[in-house]
Structure formats: structure tokens, C-alpha cells
């Protein structure tokens, strides 16, 4: 224990749909140590000042992807962000940008979930292996695993959507996490569903809405590098475009 407890001014965006017309800010003095995370600061506020403060959390160790929120305007996982890194500054915690607010720091992620569902994020075996148990005909070399492993680390926290300026401009954009998962399954050697996913990748709302700003990769707490996956997806889509020009499929 340190002899003198440091405190930080933490401002939280509040919104209670049954009482408030619009979101408003509330500031608290939160004591912190060198190991106090933003999530723990929120626990402190909830326990000591505002029992009604709502926020999502579960694992506290950057695995579940529940506690994505804006810290001083940048998307972060609250459990992986520490007050010590903001020493001498104040802190402002807001719900994830680009998503509708449900209550306080809780946002409505249904658009993200719908988009992830849309791109079929599961292994679709070819006809020959359709009824095989997954451990039978689906052997994989370390090299084959390397092709997708990084992109499989996504925890669906939504930080990349909060960072993406193209998603902000056009909410129809399928977006970083879903396009990353699309690429992840397309390059998996056990998967044969690339044709089913192609219309989404090839569309304007797919890979082609991305202008390679790269902020999604910068904020990703799991270092998935979505912008790289999208550029690789563009390569895939452009190849498909050229082949389709030579030999149309319909």
C-alpha cells in the first residue's frame, strides 16, 4: 500500500432513458493505485457514489469483450486500461462511439452482432466432408493455421467499429470485425464457404467501403489487425472480380 492515495477526476457519461432527455456528464473523485483499471474505477463509483451506474463487464481480463468503451475519446477495454497511464490528466469515460446508447455506458451492439451473423462466421465444409465429424478429415498444418490464427483472436468488443470513420459515415458498412472474421474463415483450409461469403465481401458495403485508415488496428485490444484482414480481403475480392470478368458465373 502506498502512503498517500492518489485521486483522479473521472467524468462518466450518464444516460437513464426513463429520466433523461439526453446524455449528461457526472464527475467523481476516484482514488487509484498503480494497478487500478478503468473497470475497477467504475466499480468504485458504483459502490461508493452511484449504485445506478450501468456498464457491461464480465471476465476482467480482456477475454470476454464486454467492457469496450471510450476513454478520453479513444476506444479501449476498460479492464485493460489503467488510470496510472493518465496520471496528471483527467479521465472521461463514454459509451462506445458509433453505437446507440441504451443506458449509461451500455450500447446497443445488435448491428455488430447482425453483421457478424451475416458473413457466416463458422466452418462450412465441402459436400464431401459435410457429414464428417470435425476431427476426421480436417487436419491442419501449423502453416495452414498461421494463415488465419491472428484474425481468430477477435473478441467482438466493438472497439474497431467505434474507431472506424467509414462506419460512422455509412452504418451499412459491414465493418472491421465482421470482415476480419469473413477473411478468417475464407482462408481456413477446413472451410469451403468462400463462395457463400463472396457477395458480402464483393459488395460496396463489404471490403470496398474501407479506405485503409487503419485506426481499427491501432485500437484493437487483441492486436487482430482488422485493416490488414480487409486489405487481404480486397485482394481476394479483386481476384474474384477479374476471374468473373473473364468467365462470368451466371
Partner 1 sequence: MRQFLPTRSDEPMYWLLFGAGGMVASMVLPAIMVVLIAAGYTSDDLNSGFLNLNQVHNIFSNWLLSLIVFGVVFLLSFYALHRMHHSSHDFGIHSKLTWYIAYGLAAAVSFVSLGLQLLMYVKYF
Q: Which three cell numbers stand for residue 90?
A: 483527467
**Cβ–Cβ < 8 Å for 171, 104:** no
Nearer to partner 1 (CB atom), residue 108 or residue 205: 205
- The burial of 176, by beta-carbon neighbours within 10 Å (0-12 exposed, 13-18 middle, 19 or more buried), is given as buried
Sole window of 41-49, 66-74, 85-93, 196-204 interacting with partner 1 (rule: CB under 8 A): 196-204
The one among 14, 103, 184, 234 contacting partner 1 by CB under 8 A = 234
**Cβ–Cβ < 8 Å for 23, 14:** yes
Under the criterion CB under 8 A, does residue 238 sit at the interface with partner 1?
yes
Site residue total, partner 1 (CB under 8 A)? 18
Q: Binders of partner 1 among 5-24, rule CB under 8 A?
A: none
**Cβ–Cβ < 8 Å for 163, 218:** yes
What is the contact mask toward partner 1 in residues 198 to 227, using x (rule: CB under 8 A)? -xx-xxxxx-x--x-x--------------
170 vs 99: CA distance, rounded Å: 12
Nearer to partner 1 (CB atom), residue 49 or residue 212: 212
Q: Give one DSSP letter per residue of 205-244, joined into a string.
A: TTGGG-----HHHHH-TT---HHHHHHHHHHHHHHHHHHH
Its sign, for the CA torsion 36, 37, 43, 44, is positive
SS3 of residue 31 by DSSP: strand
Nearer to partner 1 (CB atom), residue 149 or residue 169: 169
What is the contact mask toward partner 1 in residues 163 to 192, using x (rule: CB under 8 A)? --x---x-----------------------
Under the criterion CB under 8 A, does residue 241 sit at the interface with partner 1?
yes
What is the contact mask toward partner 1 in residues 63 to 82, using x (rule: CB under 8 A)? --------------------
160 vs 94: CA distance, rounded Å: 15
Nearer to partner 1 (CB atom), residue 100 or residue 165: 165
106 vs 100: CA distance, rounded Å: 9
Nearer to partner 1 (CB atom), residue 7 or residue 211: 211
Q: Write down the least CB distance from residue 237 to partner 1, Å.
A: 6
Q: Write down the least CB distance from residue 205 to partner 1, Å.
A: 6
25 vs 35: CA distance, rounded Å: 25
| Residues in touch with partner 1 (CB under 8 A) | 165, 169, 199-200, 202-206, 208, 211, 213, 234, 237-238, 241-242, 244
Amino acid at each position: 500500500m502506498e502512503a498517500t492515495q492518489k485521486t483522479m477526476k473521472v467524468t462518466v457519461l450518464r444516460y437513464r432513458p426513463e429520466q433523461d432527455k439526453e446524455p449528461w456528464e457526472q464527475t467523481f473523485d476516484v482514488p487509484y493505485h498503480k494497478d487500478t483499471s478503468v473497470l475497477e474505477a467504475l466499480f468504485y463509483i458504483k459502490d461508493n457514489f452511484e449504485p445506478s451506474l450501468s456498464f457491461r463487464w464480465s471476465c476482467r481480463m480482456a477475454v470476454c469483450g464486454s467492457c469496450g468503451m471510450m476513454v478520453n475519446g479513444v476506444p479501449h477495454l476498460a479492464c485493460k486500461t489503467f488510470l496510472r497511464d493518465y496520471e496528471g490528466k483527467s479521465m472521461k469515460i463514454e459509451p462506445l462511439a458509433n453505437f446507440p446508447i441504451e443506458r449509461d455506458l451500455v450500447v446497443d451492439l445488435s448491428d455488430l452482432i447482425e453483421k457478424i451473423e451475416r458473413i457466416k462466421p463458422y466452418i462450412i465444409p465441402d459436400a464431401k466432408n459435410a457429414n464428417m465429424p470435425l476431427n476426421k478429415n480436417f487436419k491442419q498444418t501449423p502453416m495452414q493455421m498461421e494463415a488465419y490464427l491472428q484474425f481468430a483472436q477477435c473478441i467482438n468488443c466493438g472497439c474497431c467499429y467505434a474507431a472506424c470513420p467509414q462506419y460512422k459515415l455509412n452504418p451499412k458498412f459491414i465493418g472491421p470485425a465482421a470482415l476480419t472474421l469473413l477473411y478468417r474463415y475464407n482462408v481456413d483450409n477446413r472451410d469451403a464457404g468462400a463462395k457463400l461469403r463472396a457477395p458480402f465481401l464483393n459488395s460496396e458495403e463489404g471490403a470496398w467501403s474501407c479506405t485503409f485508415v487503419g485506426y481499427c488496428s491501432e485500437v484493437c485490444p487483441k492486436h487482430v489487425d482488422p485493416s490488414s484482414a480487409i486489405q487481404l480481403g480486397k485482394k481476394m475480392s479483386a481476384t474474384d472480380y477479374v476471374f468473373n470478368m473473364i468467365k462470368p458465373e451466371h
